[in-house]
Amino acid sequence: MEHLPLWAQIGALVALLLISGFFSMAETAMMALSRIRLRHLVRQGSVAAKRTQGLLDRTDRLLSVILIGNAFANAAITALFTALTLLYFGNHHWNLAIATVVIAFAILVFSEVTPKVLGASYPEPLALLSSSILKFLSWLATPVVWFVNLFVHAILWGLRVPEAGARASSLTSDEMRTAVLESGSFIRGKHRTLLLNVFDLEQLTVDDVMAPRAAIEALDLEQPISALIDQLTSCYHNKLVVYEGDISRVQGVLHVRKLLAVLSAGPLTHEAIRELLAAPYYIPTGTPLLQQLQMFQENRQRLGLVVDEYGELEGLVTVDDIVEEIVGEFTTPAPGTGQSGVRWGPSGQTVVDGAVPLRLLNRRLGLMLPLDGPKTLNGLILERLEQIPDGPCCLRLPGCVIEIVQVQDQSVRSVRLIRTAPA
């Protein structure tokens, strides 16, 4: 060592620090690199991305190469600096102590922290650039890596720790949702909302969007023809459920437009209505919305009747109800449903029907009413009060105060919502 000039000795020390820094930087960049972004580059045909993917498929081998190189570089730095200290300053107790502190500081700053910060800040370009060197070193150090991994695998087996292997990382729906939320300007606001609504659809069932039994507009064949004609001329929907006596006794579904030919041919009769009925399409309660949307498509249906385990009618759901959960409302609410006026007034108050769905209130009024229990405002009030109110009363919920205005037929008919400041 003493035969080398000083500049060569310092140059060797700097080179070892850079080599150690390279391994630290490469380790951080490889581990911080987005696997989704890497697979995208592989599909585009990037050679560097394919090489990097091959290295990451064998994480144990890659880490062995990096850590072995880093360990050897740090050991060489320590040995060289110690030798230089002994050569120029002698074998004194304080000299070795100071040299230890100096070399530890140099390794920490130039070979650990700074390179790792760079690797974490620019993982993609640094990982792709270092992949060629790491691949060559991986081939060159194959015997050493194999020998080291023998002990590593034995220790992992003894600890009953499963090896990561070459499993491809996959994203869960919650992680995908977070990725969409953090997309910033890469995904426009409306598109981001559509994607988030699709993720939310996985957690919803037909019970969350169906029109409840009491809100179904239907024809009763036991009514006289004059009453049926009056109802048909003022109906809002183009398809109506037809029953006889009780709505649980469904006879079929009537397409209102088909009555035009019958009315032009002569007077309308109950038998003529029966001949136009299509078979009802039943849906079990609790069916996931995504599954039901697919079933509507496969069975070429647009309307289904939701029934419980006893065959009792619970409600009605259409394709429009499911699609509106994704794209938002695009149809006009039917008159009498109490949904058209669900908006905060100038005074921060609004009067709504007790049968209005909680999801609609959350969406229209920006509330956070719980959705894991009752589906309507009436159901939520009865659950909280644990009894049917016999008169006006108030109830405080997150974001609003509920004032019961009218109670009729064992249910809350009219409710005033008063907006409150968030806690």
Q: What is the pLDDT of residues 14-51, one digit of tens each?
A: 898 899 999 999 999 998 888 888 888 888 888 988 99
Of 207, 218, 198, 214, the C-alpha closest to 327 is 198
Phi, psi dihedral angles at 309 (to 5 degrees) = -70, -15
* Tokens (6 digits) for 409: 């037929």
Stretch among 52-56, 315-319, 339-343 having the lowest mean pLDDT = 339-343
Q: What is the pLDDT of residue 13?
A: 86
Question: Is the pLDDT at 94 greater than 80, yes or no?
Answer: no
DSSP state of 165: T
For residue 168, what pLDDT is reported?
A: 47
Residue 2: predicted pLDDT: 55
Averaged over 134-151, what is the pLDDT? 85
Identical topology for domains 207-327 and 349-419:
no
Of 383 and 409, which is predicted with more confidence?
383
Tell me whether strands 282-284 and 303-307 are parallel, antiparallel or unpaired: parallel
> What values do phi and psi take at 225, rounded to 5?
-60, -40
Task: Record the pTM.
Answer: 0.61
pLDDT confidence of residue 169: 56
Sign of the alpha-carbon torsion through 146, 147, 152, 158: positive
Consecutive H or E run containing 132:
helix 123-140
| Coil, strand or helix at 377 | helix
Tell me the mean pLDDT in the region 90-99. Answer: 75
Distance (Å, whole) CA 327 – CA 137: 53
Please say whether the beta carbons of 183 and 171 come within 8 A: no
- Beta strand segments in 175-234, E: 211-212, 218-220
Report helix, strand or coil for 87: helix
Residue in the block written with tokens 């394919």: 50
Highest mean pLDDT among 95-104, 114-123, 338-347: 114-123
Tens-place pLDDT, residues 240-279: 999 998 888 899 999 888 887 787 777 888 888 888 899 9
pLDDT reported for residue 166:
40
168-172, 210-214, 300-304, 354-358 — which is least confidently predicted? Answer: 168-172
pLDDT, tens only, 170-216: 667 777 777 777 766 667 767 777 887 787 777 888 988 888 887 88
What class is the 349-419 domain?
alpha beta
The percent of residues in the chain predicted with pLDDT above 70, rounded, is 91
Residue type, 358: L
Cβ neighbours around 337 below 10 Å, total:
17
Query: For residues 126 and 119, what is the distance between their CA atoms, to the nearest angstrom?
Result: 7
Segments making up each domain of the chain, as ranges: 6-158, 171-203, 207-327, 349-419
* Topology adopted by domain 207-327: CBS-domain (3.10.580)
Give CA–CA dist 2/391, Å, rounded: 101
